[in-house]
Amino acid sequence: MTDNAFAAVDLGATSGRVVRGVVEPDRIEVREVHRFANTPVQLPDGLHWNIGGLFAELCTGLAAAGPVRSAGIDSWAVDYGLLDADGALLGLPYHYRDRRTALLAPPAIGASELFRRNGIADLPFNTIHQLRAEPEHRLAAARRLLLIPDLLGYWLTGRMGTERTNASTTGLYHVSERDWDRTLISRLDLPHHLFAPISSAGTAIGRLREPIRSVAGGHDLTVVRVASHDTASAVAAVPATGPGFAYISCGTWSLVGVERPTPLLSAAARDTGFTNESGVCGIRYLRNVMGLWLLEECLREWPGLDIATLVTRAAELPGLTSVIDVDDPDFATPAGAGEASMTARIAARCDGPAPASPAEFARCIFDSLALGHARAVTDAVRTSGRRVEIIHLVGGGARNELLCRLTAEACGLPVAAGPVEATALGNLLAQAMAANIIGDWSQARALVAATHPPRRYEPTGDSAWRRAADRVTALAEKRAA
């Protein structure tokens, strides 16, 4: 029976996977059926995603999932493909870490007005700035812009459109009017025809095209728009049982924030780097923290080591010996093309003795990331006025017991860790709601809490964390001076 079976395609910045899930009102069973690397391609004109390779892996994963009722796709945000009048892709999509936006002049519209319109932190990799960096000939040839999940959904079904949670990350979405900001698009001299109609999670895109069925296992299924920004899907599956919580979706990035019914467009929100992104339960008021990207980059320098080994070794070392400011933008770019290695950058920018061994670098990163989580939670509470009694940490970072414990210590609040597979669960639950198996997101979260109970970490109240936070603040002030 396939009525309660679904496939979640979950694409992260370093790897992707396809998960088969069976969802019923009182149970969720998930099984990973295909996993693959997501390796960017460095070409003469910049850093790109191998989108054709990802599509081939997606189809392999759908075949491995077997007969299912529907499939949904989520991925990282902001990146896109440009299509010509015939629907053909105009080159590989750029990677958000490509440096093509670094030298752009600020847009004519001021930062304050921009935030009042789009409600998001003004980061150089946002879609709005990537489009400003596009050569005129590419924009002239383009007839449609599709964000990564929407592009893959188009290749599967032949139907174009845009999903709301991802649209809200672009900088071109009016957060209060909940549609493309046509006035802003005109002021930036961007073609209006690029922007496809927006629909919400839970709406069907269409059925698999006939040529695709044969490479996707020969199965007929419907492709459903889920919360296609992976963070939106992860937050949707937070197993919260009350309103007084903050969340950390922890992976390559850590997305730290609270939920609100409406956007918060104050100067304090803008000045502290918060963003208002659409979610399935209102607005995700959050801030980007650098995340485990720091360690992932270091691992490229240490062949044969893995995160699990480093967590074990780091846990044996004294804490807070060396700390860095994980929000330092100098950590954001990959090594190479004139950029120093990640370990060299950490050693040069830490407070305390420079780490010497992989375990010492890992301990520095985990301690510092916990402090970055705490600063973001504190700022979220201060600027939003939301009460927070517990922090839900979901995603891949939830399996890192050391990081979860350190985050509880740094925040001075209990941390409920898990589920690790929150993004895939949010993807599957959106499909189950579209199939009328689950009634609403409150029921969905209760189901996650019952079937994937989180592990709880309690703070001890160690005052060393307050002193460490002051050290990181001093690093940030030195950088800004």
Residue 83 phi/psi, 5-degree rounding, is -115, 145
Whether 75 and 228 have beta carbons less than 8 Å apart is answered as yes
What one-letter code names the amino acid at 62? L
The reply to whether omega before 25 is within 30° of 0 (cis) is no
Whether 454 and 392 have beta carbons less than 8 Å apart is answered as yes
Residue-level length of the chain: 481
Question: Under 8 Å CB-to-CB from 431, ≥6 apart: which residues?
Answer: 6, 8, 23, 69, 70, 71, 72, 224, 226
For residue 416, CA distances in Å to 58, 221, 481 come to 32, 36, 37
Residue 351 phi/psi, 5-degree rounding, is -100, 115
b or e along 153-189 (b: 16 or more beta carbons within 10 Å of the residue's beta carbon)?
bbbbbbebbbbbbbbbbbbbbbbeeeebbeebbeebe
Catalytic residue among 74, 98, 230, 327: 230
* Packing angle of the helix pair 358-384, 342-349 (nearest 10 deg): 70
Whether 362 and 337 have beta carbons less than 8 Å apart is answered as no
Whether 179 sits among the annotated catalytic residues: the reply is no
User: Which token pair is 370?
Assistant: 């916990």
Active site residues: 230
